[in-house]
Amino acid sequence: MAIDDMRQYMEQLRRRGELVEIDVAVDPELEVSEITDRVSKAHGPALLFRNPAGSDIPILINQYGGMKRMSLALGGEDLDAVAARLGQVTQLQMPHGLVNKLKALGKLKDLASSAPKLVKSGPCQEVVLEEPNLDILPILKTWPGDGGPFITLPVVFTRDPVTGTRNAGMYRLQKFDARTTGMHWHVHKDGAENFRAAGDRIEVAVAIGTDPATTYAATAPLPRDLDEMMLAGFLRGKPVQMVKCRTVDLEVPATAEIILEGYVKADELRREGPFGDHTGYYSLADDYPVFHLTAMTHRRDPIYATTIVGRPPMEDCYLGKATERLFLPFLKMTVPEMVDMNLPLEGVFHNCAIISIKKSYPSQARKVMSAVWGLGML
């Protein structure tokens, strides 16, 4: 069954006993992350903090913190079942015979029906703040040495200024003040490439609290010209509905909880970080572009979705495990002798890859290693 929005997913978690709701007041500065870190390490449930200090907006965290929840989020009994469905797309070849042609048409229909759909309005714009104010959000400061509070589960939308192709990525945003954040896109990310191509300024929209497939798609290592919302639609089994932003020429998921609209200028950098990272160490402070808000919209009674980053096991590790399973068929297209792959949690899902191969000649492993290291998917 397609999950239309984060709230529908939360309801499924409730029914399965996978969501614990906390009514006592908890501080977004360090306290929420301390509790969540202990729960993550114990392979515990998703958490809904209903009464965060300093904000009227509840916090949802650890929603993907386990293989069972990650599979549920992507609509399958397990991730291999989801990968098998996605893998069918990689096997499309010129079919022979009527039956095979009909099967191929069915796969193409699934792809065609995955394209995002533009709608006139959506819940994400039920409340419009033309004077945006990040202070209303319970943004977490996770670790004592962090440079400040960080938005850690955003879907960041930009557009290629040449081709007009949409891109959705997940880049952390350090809150500087009520109307500005950092924009932590690394030089090799598609968002940064769009930024460089735009020249003086690029428009940006940030969606917080999207449906699970959309959130995952923003983390997926897709080729540059593929729309992440197409992948999300395929995983959901129905198109992602998109609405036009109020102040920038971009579309965002209609059922998101919170939308931040704004721009990034090429000639403005600001010190961002440090940030407690996956390895258990702080990534160093550095200069990054500044995101200026021009508008903020949200659902009535919004929920702030976030995550924390640190030593495994953590919620983000399971997003990484989803990529391991879902993108294995695509890796096999490039490296056909691959049999299976494991990105162990201890390797923080991209620092260690264990790969089995069907070996047929000496030093074949060296060839596979070189091929895999050079792929954007790893």
Catalytically annotated residues? 277
CB-CB neighbours of 92 under 10 Å: 12
Beta bridge partners of 271: 287
Helix or strand run (H / E) with residue 334: helix 328-334
Q: At what angle do helices 79-90 and 98-112 cross, to 10 degrees?
A: 110
Distance CA 322, CA 231 (A): 13
Helix axis angle, 228-236 to 212-219, nearest 10°: 140
Asked if 38 and 176 touch (Cβ cutoff 8 Å), the reply is no
Beta bridge partners of 341: 355
Q: Which residues contact 6 (CB under 8 A, 6 or more apart)?
A: 60, 63, 209, 210, 211, 212, 255, 256, 257, 303, 305
Task: Determine contact, residues 239/290, Cβ cutoff 8 Å.
Answer: no
- Amino acid 33 reads S
Please tell me the number of Cα atoms within 13 Å of 138 on its side-chain side: 29
> For residue 28, what are the contacts with CB-CB under 8 A and spacing of at least 6?
52, 53, 54, 55, 59, 138, 139, 140, 141, 149
Residues near 131 by Cβ (< 8 Å), separated by ≥ 6? none
Alpha carbons 176 and 178: distance in angstroms, whole number? 7
The closest of 40, 36, 15 to 26, measured between CA atoms, is: 36
